[in-house]
Amino acid sequence: MNKPNLSLLTKITQRLLPVALLVLPATMQGQGDIYRADTWDFSVRLVQQLSFDINGKGGSKINASDQLGFGIDFGYNFSPHWKLGGSFDYVNPDYTSTLIPEDPGDDIVKIDHDMDMFDFQINGTFFLIDGPFTPFVKAGIGWTYVDTNVAKGRPQTGCYWDPWWGYICTTTQDSYDDWLFAYNVALGIRWEVQDSLVLTLSYQEQWLDFGNASGTPSIGKVMIEAGFNY
């Protein structure tokens, strides 16, 4: 059996030890409470809202199509695992609404239009791993503003003096709209690519409290985000 070359082992140890002492602290910076704690996140995102159906009273219903929208998300990381923040999304999906007349002898009315949907949410996020790549779970509550863009009443014209344009007249027309209580749950993956660049991919299911709907309608969303951590 060959004996180990002690002089060679000594030389290797002498060369590697200083390198290890330099690398170890840098490696430790990505671990423990130093990572992500006490920092802010801000990101912009693309929102792919999936098609959804809403069944109302008397057989009335709404069928909305898939639609791409956008949004922003921000929040504060209290620790490597917990974040509290808010989000805003805007989507403008096409929809078909079926209106059932009170008199069975009247014709069913169908409306083909597009609606404006604005989501305002407060969200709590739990990151499973203390590190740059981690799955996460998110839940939140808030409000969704829905404007059907269907006219309500006749157009009204008003005239007034404007400090910039002088005497002008404009015509406005109200539409059917509403504020709806909403809550959501999401699953995703977060990747902190480098010092401040953050990418996330997530799927969210959101429930809307339509007063005259059958049950609580839900809407699915796929979101891709790019942002900063600072």
pLDDT digits (tens, 9 = 90+) for 180-198: 999 999 999 999 987 789 9
What pLDDT shows up at residue 17?
47
What pLDDT shows up at residue 109?
83
Please check whether residue 207 lies inside any domain of the structure: yes
The single-letter code of the amino acid at 116 is: D
What pLDDT shows up at residue 18?
53
Please check whether residue 20 lies inside any domain of the structure: no
Average pLDDT over the chain, rounded to whole?
Answer: 84
Q: Which domain holds residue 114?
A: 35-229
Domain count within the chain: 1
- The torsion of the CA quartet 92, 96, 97, 99, rounded to 10 degrees, works out to 160
Please check whether residue 139 lies inside any domain of the structure: yes
Lowest mean pLDDT, pick from 18-27, 49-58, 106-115, 164-173: 18-27
Please check whether residue 121 lies inside any domain of the structure: yes
What pLDDT shows up at residue 2?
43
Sign of CA dihedral 119, 122, 127, 130: positive
Residue 94 confidence (pLDDT) above 90: yes
Q: Which residue has the tokens 């030389």?
A: 11
What pLDDT shows up at residue 105?
76
CATH number, domain of 51, equals: 2.40.160.20
Q: Within 10 A of 108 (CB to CB), how many other CB atoms are there?
A: 10
Residue 86 confidence (pLDDT) above 80: yes
Query: What would the mean pLDDT of 94-109 be, rounded to a whole number?
Result: 84
Distance CA 65, CA 59 (A): 19
pLDDT digits (tens, 9 = 90+) for 11-26: 544 554 454 444 444 4
Token pair listed for 221: 């969303």
More confident residue, 80 or 212: 80
Query: What would the mean pLDDT of 224-230 be, rounded to a whole number?
Result: 95
What pLDDT shows up at residue 8?
46
What pLDDT shows up at residue 34?
55
Residue 27 confidence (pLDDT) above 50: no
CB 36 within 8 A of CB 77: yes
Please check whether residue 56 lies inside any domain of the structure: yes
Lowest mean pLDDT, pick from 76-80, 81-85, 152-156, 219-223: 152-156
Q: How many residues does the chain have?
A: 230
Please check whether residue 6 lies inside any domain of the structure: no
Please check whether residue 28 lies inside any domain of the structure: no
Please check whether residue 23 lies inside any domain of the structure: no
Q: E strands of the chain, at which residues?
A: 39-49, 52-55, 61-64, 67-77, 82-91, 94-99, 109-114, 116-127, 133-151, 156-162, 166-172, 175-192, 197-208, 218-229
What pLDDT shows up at residue 154?
75
